[in-house]
Each structure stands twice: as structure tokens, then as C-alpha cells.
Amino acid sequence: MHLTLSAAQGPPSAPGPQGGLAGWAAGLVEAFGGPGAGAAIALENVFPPLPSEVILPLTGFAASQGVLSIASALFWTTLGSVVGAVVLYGIGAVFGRERMHTWWAKLPLVKTSDLVRTEEWFARHGPKAVLLGRMVPVFRSLISMPAGVERMPLPVFVALTTTGSLVWNTVLVMAGYWLGDQWDVVGTYVGVASKVVLALAVVALAGYVALRVRARNRERP
């Protein structure tokens, strides 16, 4: 069965990364079914520019067309989420706490005490951060690396990642299933949410840098 996707339709020369990604993801799902969707989501976790807000609703639409079942869609996309997250966890674990401190000490405008406080915060709230972070655009991928650096027990990390990913995946897959050929509407709204989260992170970073510059200026004789 060939998937006809509204987001991927248009003249062959029509520009736009979303159409290209939708077509690529559609090809994977159509050729390999659930495993194809899982592979796409695993890559999305490792390379965040591949948006889950396109891949997951598209998978739901494919389920509505009989290409795969809802159960298969949720199983494989959640498995893909966990595999991608474990890869990033492994990178964080290999990088390690000592290297993190060495790298952090070389950065301007930061103090070792800031990193220590961050580690203490993660020690207290890490499980909640991993669980809820799987449902927050942008941070879905980023949260895996500090979990690896802090060596959160892998079974705990996998259990939290599976739970959070299953909730996120279910919402977007089912939205695509119910919306049918209008599945791309989901990507529009989630994309806006992603931009808001990213903008807030940039503002927070800018505020942090401004405070550090002011503190450094005060410390000068």
C-alpha cells in the first residue's frame, strides 16, 4: 500500500525540509513497517533535527491506512526511543564525570561550583527529569547524556525512558491516526512548542551569562 502524505505532496521541485523528511520517513514505514518507524525514531533521538512531531503522527496515519497496527506502531517507536536514548546515555557515560569537570573548568564565565550544584540537583531530581524530559521537545534527547555522565543505574534509566517515551509516542501516534490525511497539523503545533522551549532555554542561558559577567566585573579590584 502506498502512503499518500499531504505534507509530502506538491511539485517535485517544491522546497521545504518537512516535505523531504516526511517522504523519507514515509519510505521507511512503507518499506519496513514498524521496524522502519522505530529506526526513524532512534535516529531522531540521536539527531534531534529529525523531528518526532513529523515521524510519529506519520506513523499513526500509516496505521490508519493499514500499513501497520497501532500496537506495532507504539511498540517499535518506543523501542526506537529507548535505543536512541541509550546511545546518548552511553556517550555521556564514556565522557564521564572527570572529563566533564576538566572541560567545564576551561569554559569562561562558569565556576566548578555551578557544575557541582547541577550534579547535586540531578542526584535529587534525576528520575523525574528523565521521565518528564522524554515528553518535552528539544530536551527529549538532551536529558540522556547527563544521566550517563552521572551514571544513573541503566535499568532505572531504561524504565523511566520507556515510560516517558510511551506516553509521548502514544499521544502523537494516536493524533496522527485520528487526524488521517491531516496528520501534519500535529507537527505544526508541536513545532511551535519546540520553538518556545528553545527560546526559553536561550533566554535562560543569556541571563546566566549576563549574571556571570556582572559578578566577574564586581570581583575585579
Nearest 10 degrees: Cα torsion 212, 213, 217, 220: 60
CB 165 within 8 A of CB 78: yes
The domain ranges of the chain are 14-216
Give me the chain's average pLDDT, please.
Answer: 74
Phi then psi dihedrals of residue 170, to 5 deg? -65, -45
Angle at 197 between CA 181 and CA 28, to 5 degrees: 35
Average pLDDT over residues 160-188: 83
Residue 94 C-alpha cell reads as 564514556
Predicted TM-score (pTM) above 0.85: no
Residue 25 C-alpha cell reads as 520517513
* Confidence grade of residue 154 (pLDDT, cut at 50, 70, 90): very high
CB-CB neighbours of 201 under 10 Å: 13
- SS3 of 69, please? coil
Report the distance separating Cα 179 and Cα 144, nearest Å.
31
- pLDDT tens digit sequence for 105-151: 666 655 666 666 666 777 788 898 888 888 776 677 778 888 888 88
Q: Do you know the residue count of the chain?
A: 221
